[in-house]
Amino acid sequence: MMKGRSALMIILVLAACGISDGHRMMMGYKVNELQLTALYDDGTPAQGVKIEALSDGKPVSEGVTDEKGSFVFRPGERLEDITFVSSSAGHRAELSLNLAQKRQADDLSMPMRALAGIGYLLGVAGIAMVYVSRKDRKRA
């Protein structure tokens, strides 16, 4: 009878754990280029619009949008805050990106994932211990 309960308990714990892998695989990404699109209010692509990329108020790149209103920007390794300014014949738009916040979030995600996994395993072990101790009390 005890072997049957132990076997059932092991099966329940294994079922709760899900698929097991020999090595955990992680994926990440790096932004090698940004494609910006400039559009007017009616959705028409803003062709030939000057786009300027600024970091700490200093120009780091500039270009002109193509026939689809697109401009491709390739950020450097050390850029953190980037502001894009588009201007053409009385129209102006700005877009600000903070790449430092994204990098910081990526750095924190791995340890937080590890802690979450440990917490999950401890929770499953705790539930198993409560189940086993209740069964033992009923028998006694």
Assign 134 to helix, strand or coil: helix
Residue 95, domain CATH: 2.60.40.10
Q: Does residue 67 lie within any of the structural domains?
A: yes
**Does residue 17 fall inside a structural domain?**
no
Residue 79 lies in a domain: yes
Report how many domains make up the chain: 1
Reported as a single tens digit per residue, the pLDDT across 72-123 is 888 776 667 888 888 877 778 888 887 665 555 555 566 777 777 788 888 8
Q: How confident is the model at residue 132 (pLDDT cuts 50, 70, 90)?
A: confident
- Taking 70 as the threshold, does the pLDDT of residue 23 lie above it? no
**What's the average model confidence in pLDDT over 32-58?**
86
> Does 25 reside within a domain?
no
Domain that holds residue 70: 31-110
Residue 60 lies in a domain: yes
Contact 85, 92 (CB under 8 A): yes
| Alpha carbon separation from 132 to 10, 41, 83 (Å, rounded) | 11, 66, 60
Q: Residue 58 falls within a domain, yes or no? A: yes
Across the chain, what does the average pLDDT equal?
77
pLDDT of residue 138: 76
With respect to residue 139, please indicate whether it lies within any of the assigned structural domains: no
Is there a domain that residue 98 lies in?
A: yes
